[in-house]
Every structure is written in structure tokens, then in C-alpha cells.
Structure 1
Amino acid sequence: MADAGYGQMHAFRAALADRGVDYVVAVRGDTSAHPGDAVPTAPKREGRMGPRGCPATASRPAP
């Protein structure tokens, strides 16, 4: 078990994984997790009032 300081260090986590060590680390709130080869995609529009065709975090132009 380790605190968020170690949780932010990829090299530390990778070294534990390489050694086959199971671990739990704290992470900061702005940390995200996804596969290294992940590619963001926009949600599919569903009808007239369905989700928008852009990610929710994308900035929108002022009206």
C-alpha cells in the first residue's frame, strides 16, 4: 500500500507489476486510467434529442 505520491509515479507502479507484486496506491483526483492504446470517440447521436456528437468535456463556442 502506498500514498498518492507513489500513485503518481508510473515507474514505481510498473516496477511492482513487473515483479508480480499486487499493490494498492492512492491517486490524486485528476488521475485518469485507460489502456495505453485507447482512442477517444464521440458518442453516437440517438435521434433528434440524443447525445451530442462531441465528448462532454469538449469546449463549445460561445453563442
Structure 2
Amino acid sequence: MYLATISRKPYCTDLNDSEWAILAAVIPLAKSGGHPRTTDMREVCKNQFTRTFHVALFTPKNT
């Protein structure tokens, strides 16, 4: 399980393994011939989801 391998507190926006399996299928592979990808794409997605969650949470609603 992914969450057991990371050394941080889990967040509500973390992807579980089944969610990541769906999302990983649409993320392009690293291009050949360049610098090898060293970034964990699962963490990139998690950070984007966290930012979106917090923007939605703290954006004032028009009433």
C-alpha cells in the first residue's frame, strides 16, 4: 500500500491505490532521450488536489 511507504501524515486528499490506478493510466510516461523523471507523479497529483481542495474551501461564496 502506498500510504505505508511515505513518511508523512496522510491527508484527506491522498489517493488510495485504486484511485491512483485509474489516474496513472492517463498520465503520460516520461519522454525518452531527456533527463529521467525523478518526480513522483502521485505526489504531484496529490499536491494539485490539496491546492484545489483548499481554494474551494476558503473561497468566499457569492450569496
Question: TM-score, length-normalised on structure 2?
Answer: 0.24
Question: TM-score, length-normalised on structure 1?
Answer: 0.24
Q: Quick check: which has more Rg, 1 or 2?
A: 1
